Amino acid sequence: MYLQSYVLGIVWGICIWECYLNLRQYYLVVFHKDIDISEFIIRCLSSDKFEKGRHYHKDKLQITFPKIIGNALITTVIIRNGFYAKLWYFLDDYVPVGGDLFLSLLWLLIVNVGTAFINYPLTLFDTVYLKEKHDQPGQQFFFNFTKTYIEDLLNYQTLHGLIYITTFLVVSSTDQYFLFVLWIMGCLILLLMDTAYDILFLKKTLLTDPKLKQGFGYLASKVNFPTNDLHIIYSRKEWSTIARISGFLGYEQVYIHERAIFKLTDDELLSILAQQLGWWMCEHNIVQIFFKEMYLTLVLTTFSNLFDNTLLYVTFGFSKHHKPFCLGLNLMVWYILLPLNVLLTYIWRFMYRNQTLDADNFTKQTKCEKKFLKTLARMNQTNYEQFVCNNSYHKWYHNEPTIIERYKNLIEEDNTPTKKGFFRNILNMLKNSHEDRKKL
């Protein structure tokens, strides 16, 4: 049972660490009065909205503690009592139709619905009650929230069901080559999701505002961006960014969220687009794709070595003769690889933060860094964590740096200009050589 003790030790270790981080952040929010924010940022904020953001963040931290401890307790009870195996055997006894694949899909559905049901009350309390109480963006009525919550659960279940079916069919049919086949398919799906999802699946229209297009065309000409077109994305969900660039190898497209068109001026939108061009010029999307492919390789390599290992299944209550490998994939990713997931998530966030600061520097080259910072401050003035936040807490939970860090990077520090990435230079060399041959 040493593997079970290892899993529970990791679960409770993360629980204690997150409680410690939230306690430090709570102390900072409640008792810290001397806020170190520059006068430049303060002038961009509304004191009323800023104070509402502080009270909302304080109340949200209060419900975080029972959520963290409750999840650890539930996980302990489930693992110690072999709930996953008992559910599997119950389905095997009382569901007369279907083989291992059907039982695996049914097992996954029950586990996902149960997890969603447990998380529903606190998520509802935050989204419906707390945001309405403190007048925060992203408020939803009870009915709309419940509808969205169920839709997200169905989408999540559909995605995981497809992964189960694909894994089952590949492992069953390709035998010793299944690792290579799964890796190729996973790489292609990740590449598609990162580069072409917006182009293929989101509703969009071409922006016709001549002033904004002209301003973006000027910015694009500075870095030889392949298009001057801007697209408006229509989505019921808030984006984590106001605008973004999707595509790859000369087929990039620029998208602006529909809500940003009404909330921001043309100059503010251009400052955001300048930062996105910085992302593109530095090839950060290529680095991120490579990082995800490496993680996929680690997961599949571990799975190929453990999916037939008796110890993996016995740890979670199965007998030595039952090895439902689709369930084994889930249990391995959820628990066995938990330390690796935590480490790689922290590395990802560290890399993403540095990439964000690097992309921000392009706004400095285009002389719009102050407008960019004002836009960020105005759009996030109810997000208290962006201005007052414990350093360790923010690095653990958030990908992007705080606005205070971005201000210091752009205004107070003398940074080197944003440079084109390696692959971008290679593509430009090939393009120039092709044009020279055409002239000859």
Query: Domain check: are 261 and 208 in the same one?
Result: yes
Long-range contacts of 62-71 (CB under 8 A, 24+ apart): 62/26, 63/122, 63/125, 63/126, 63/130, 64/22, 65/19, 65/22, 65/23, 66/122, 67/122, 68/15, 68/18, 68/19, 68/22, 69/15, 69/19, 70/118, 71/15
Q: Which residue has the tokens 């007052």?
A: 388
Same domain for 376 and 259? no
Q: Which of 280, 309, 328 is the last residue of a domain?
A: 280
Quick: pLDDT tens for 246-260.
Answer: 776 667 778 888 777
Q: Is residue 16 part of a domain?
A: yes
Average pLDDT, the chain: 80
| Shared-domain flag, residues 22 and 137 | yes
Residue 415 lies in a domain: no
Shared domain check, 188 and 151: yes
Burial 105-143 (b: 16+ CB within 10 A, else e): bebbeebbeeebeeeeeeebebbbebbeebebeebbeee
Closest CA to 309 of 322, 295, 296: 322
Note whether residue 86 is domain-resident.
Answer: yes
The whole-number pLDDT of residue 440 equals 44
Residue 139 pLDDT: 64
Q: Residues 250, 294: one domain?
A: no
Domain boundary among 280, 295, 312: 280
Indicate if 122 and 260 belong to the same structural domain.
Answer: no
Q: What is the pLDDT of residue 157?
A: 85
| Predicted local distance difference test score (pLDDT) of residue 200 | 64
- CA nearest to 246, candidates 256, 259, 236: 256
Domain final residue, candidates 280, 295, 313? 280
Joined together, the tokens standing for residue 128 give 């419906």
* Three-state secondary structure of 318-347: CCCCCCCHHHHHHHHHHHHCHHHHHHHHHH
Examine residue 346 and state whether it is found in any structural domain, yes or no.
yes
Question: Do 180 and 289 fall into the same domain?
Answer: yes
Q: Is the pLDDT of residue 431 over 60?
A: no
Least confident of 33-47, 143-157, 345-359: 33-47
Asked if the structure places residue 203 within a domain, the reply is yes
**Cα–Cα distance measured from residue 204 to residue 235, given in angstroms and rounded to the nearest whole number:** 9
1 burial type by CB count under 10 A (0-12 exposed, 13-18 middle, 19+ buried): exposed
CATH of the domain at 207: 3.30.2010.10
Average pLDDT over residues 10-19: 94
Asked if residue 13 belongs to a domain, the reply is yes
Domain presence at residue 404: yes
The yes-or-no verdict on residue 166 having pLDDT over 50 is yes
What does residue 243 show for φ and ψ, rounded to 5 degrees? -140, 160
First-last CA distance in the chain: 74
pLDDT on residue 434: 43
Residues 269, 301: one domain? no
Tell me the residue range of the domain where 250 lies: 197-280
- Whether 61 and 105 share a structural domain: yes
Torsions phi, psi for 59 (to 5 deg)? -65, -35
* pLDDT for residue 240: 54
Same domain, 351 and 381: yes
Ranges of H-type helices in 202-282 = 210-223, 258-263, 266-281
- Tell me whether residue 6 is in a domain: yes
Contact 415, 364 (CB under 8 A): yes
Residue 196's pLDDT is 64
| Residue 335 pLDDT > 60 | yes
Q: How far apart are CA 114 and CA 120, in angstroms?
A: 10
CA 142 to chain CA mean position, Å: 25
* Rounded-to-integer distance, Cα 390 and Cα 26, Å: 9
CB atoms within 10 A of CB 213: 17
Q: How many domains does the chain have?
A: 2
CB atoms within 10 A of CB 287: 15
- pLDDT for 282 beyond 70: yes
Residue 421 DSSP SS3: coil
**pLDDT tens digits for range 359-387:** 888 888 888 888 888 888 888 877 888 88
pLDDT for the residue 20: 94
Distance CA 243, CA 254 (A): 7
Scanning the structure block, which residue is given the tokens 């055997």?
Answer: 89
- Asked whether residue 74 falls in the same domain as residue 223, the answer is no
Q: Are residues 331 and 345 in the same domain?
A: yes
What whole-number distance in Å separates Cα of residue 435 and Cα of residue 275? 29
Q: What is the pLDDT of residues 94-139, one digit of tens each?
A: 877 767 778 888 888 899 899 889 888 888 888 778 787 877 766 6
